[in-house]
Chains A and B, each alone.
Chain A
C-alpha cells in the first residue's frame, strides 16, 4: 500500500516533525552530549573550576577495583533477575492461557505489580524482609538462617533479586501471554494427536514458537535490570552493605551525586550508554530476522 503523503510546501512536514525532534533533542541528545563532554573534564575539589583532561576519567575508572566489582554485581544481578522473571512469568502465562474459571481475574491481578513504582516496591519488600521489623524475617530466622540483608551482602543481593524479579514478572507475563495466544490452537492439537504429552509439547512446539518473544524479553529485561532497578536498589539497600549491591547504574549516582566526582560519573554514563546501544542493535538485528522461523 502506498503510504507516502505529498506536501505542497516544505515547511509543513518540518513543522510536523518539530515536536518529536524537540523532545528527542532536549531530553536525549542534549543531556547525552553533556555527559560525553563532562566525561572529558575534571573538577577541583570544591567544584569551582574544571579542566579538560581527555580520557583521564576513563583511565582512572578502569583502575578502580570497585568499578569491576560493580560490573560483576550487575552481571550477577541481571542474570538472576532475567532468568527468574522470565521463568516465573512463562510458567504463569502458560497457566493463565488455559481455560480457567476466573481466568480474566488472574490475568488482571498478575499485571498489577507493574503499576507499582520501583521505590514503593522496594519499601514493600523491606517491610517484609527487614532484619528486625520484617514480617517474614522472623520465620526465616526460626528455620535457622541468620537473615540480615543490612549486614550480609549475599542476603542483600537475594532481597534485591527477589524484589526486582517480582516487579518485572508482570511485564514479561503480558508478552508471554500474547505470544501464547498467537500460537494457533490447532498446532497444539495436532501435536497432541501426534502423541506428544503436555511437557513434550511445551518444549518441542510452544517454547520454540515463543522464541522471538523470549529473545525480545531477554534484551528488555537486561536493559531493565541495568537501568530501571535504581529505585529499588536505592530504597532497599542503598548499594550497601559496603557497596556489595552497587550496580553500574547505582555507582553512577553514588560517585556523581554523593561522591561529587562528576567527570568519573559522566564517564560511567557514557560506557552504559554504549552498552544500551549495543543491546538494542543486537535486538533489532535478531527481531528483524524473527529468530528462528
Chain B
C-alpha cells in the first residue's frame, strides 16, 4: 500500500482552459481522502489524472515513491469505481470481478478464491452468475466495488459512486464504503459534490473550487475553522450566514450597530475596517436578549421534524437560524439572537480569506 502525493499538478485543456491550477496535496497511506466541491471545480479531473485517464499538463503525481505521470493506468496499481458503475455488460458478475485478475495472469484457483471472498464481503454471492443488467442499482454498485477490491490495489479511486442511487440506499452504501475502507486499510480518494458524504467519509477533507484547493483538513477542522468564505458557506447545511460588519477593536466587531465579541480575530485590524461576519445557523441562540444581541425579522419557517429553520433578515442580509423544534415559537415575527464569541468567523471582504489568529 502507498500514499499519494500531488505536486503542483495542472490540467490545461485545448483552448487554454485551465481545469486544475497547480494542486499540491499529500494523502497518507491508508487514509480516506475526499475531494469535494461544486461541479466544474476540477475534482473529477484531478481524480482522473491520478487514475491515468487524463494526461497531466504540469507537475507530478506520485503513488508511493513512484512518479506515475507517464505510467499507463493499468500499471499504476489502482482501482476505480465509476459513477455509472462501468460494469462490462456482456460478462457475468463473476467475470466482471475476475477480469482484472485474468489480465494480470493470476492463477485460476487464486482468482476464484479472491472473487468468492470479495463476493462474501459485499453480500453478492448469490448473483455471481448473473449479468449486470439483471441487477439493481445497489447490487451493481457492489459489483463495481468488488471489482476494485479483488485486485488488492494500492489506491482506491471513487468518482461520485453513490450519486446514481436513491437517497436511502446512498446512506447505506456510504456506511458500507466507510466500513470496507477501514477493514481493508487501502488509501482511498473519493470525489463527491455531496458535503454530507464528504464529512462522514473522510479522514482528510479537501475542499476545491475553481481548479484550486480551498482548504485541507479533518472534517471537524474544516467545519470549525473554515479558511475561506467559500469553504464556510460550502461545508455545513444549511450554509453559514454571512453578515456585513465593521471592526470595533481587538476582539470586537459590530453588525448593524450591535457589538459582537469574537475570540478568533486577527491582531492589528484597524477600527472601522469593513469585515464579513460568519455565523452558522446552528451556532446562533435565539430568545435571550443581551448586551450584544442581533435582531432578526422572520419571514417564514421550514419544518425539518427534529429542527426548524427560521428564514429572515439581519442587518439587511439574508439569515437562517436552526433551532430544536419547540425552542422558539413558530409564529415569532422577530428574534433576538446571541452567539458565543468562539463561534464567530471573520472573513476579509476582498480576499475572502479568514481573518483569524495567525
Contact surface of A with B, Cβ cutoff 8 Å: 184, 186-187, 189-197, 200, 204-205, 208-209, 211, 292-293
Chain B residue contacts of A187, Cβ below 8 A: 86-89
Stretch at the interface among B76-84, B231-239, B243-251, B304-312: B76-84
Asked if B90 and A193 sit within 8 Å, CB to CB, the answer is no
**Is B103's CB under 8 angstroms from A195's CB?**
yes
Q: B137-151 interface mask toward A, CB cutoff 8 Å, 1 = contact, 0 = none?
A: 000000000010001
Instruction: Tell me the total A-B contact number using a CB cutoff of 8 A.
Output: 66
Q: Once the chains are docked, how many angstroms separate the CA of A293 from the CA of B53?
A: 27
**8 Å CB interface, B24-72 against A:** 51-53, 72
B74 near A197 with CB under 8 A, answer yes
Whether B89 and A293, one on each chain, are in contact in the complex, defined by CB atoms closer than 8 angstroms, is yes
Contact B86 A200 (CB under 8 A): no
| Contacts A189-B82, A193-B51, A193-B79 given; does A293 touch B99 at CB 8 Å | no
Q: Decide yes or no: A208 and B103 within 8 Å by CB, A184-B84, A189-B82 being known contacts.
A: no
Q: B72, B76, B131 — which one has the most chain A CB atoms within 10 A of its CB?
A: B72
Is B133's CB within 8 Å of the partner chain A? yes
B-chain residues with CB within 8 Å of residue A184 when the two chains form the complex: 84, 86
With A and B bound together, what is the CA distance between A192 and B86 in angstroms?
12
Q: Would you give the shortest CB distance from A200 to chain B, in whole angstroms? A: 7
Contacts of B349 in A (CB 8 A): none
Contact status A196-B90, CB under 8 Å? no
| Main SS class of interface, A | helix
Q: Mark B144-168, 1 if CB is under 8 A from A, else 0.
A: 0001000100000000000000000
Contact B89 A209 (CB under 8 A): yes
Which residues of chain A have C-beta atoms less than 8 A from B100's C-beta? 193-195
Given A184-B84, A186-B84, check contact A192 B73 (CB 8 Å): yes
Knowing A189-B53, A190-B80 are in contact, say whether A196-B74 is a contact too (CB < 8 A). yes
User: How long is the Cα–Cα vector from A197 to B131 in the complex, in angstroms?
Assistant: 24
Question: 13 A-B residue contacts at CB 8 Å?
Answer: A184-B86, A186-B83, A187-B87, A189-B82, A190-B82, A191-B88, A194-B99, A195-B75, A205-B88, A208-B90, A211-B90, A293-B89, A293-B90
Q: Which residue of chain B has the shortest Cβ distance to A208 in the bound complex? A: B90
- Inside 8 A of B86's CB, which chain A residues have their CB? 184, 186-187, 189-190
Residue of B nearest to A207 (CB): B90
Q: Are B99 and A209 in contact (CB under 8 A)?
A: no
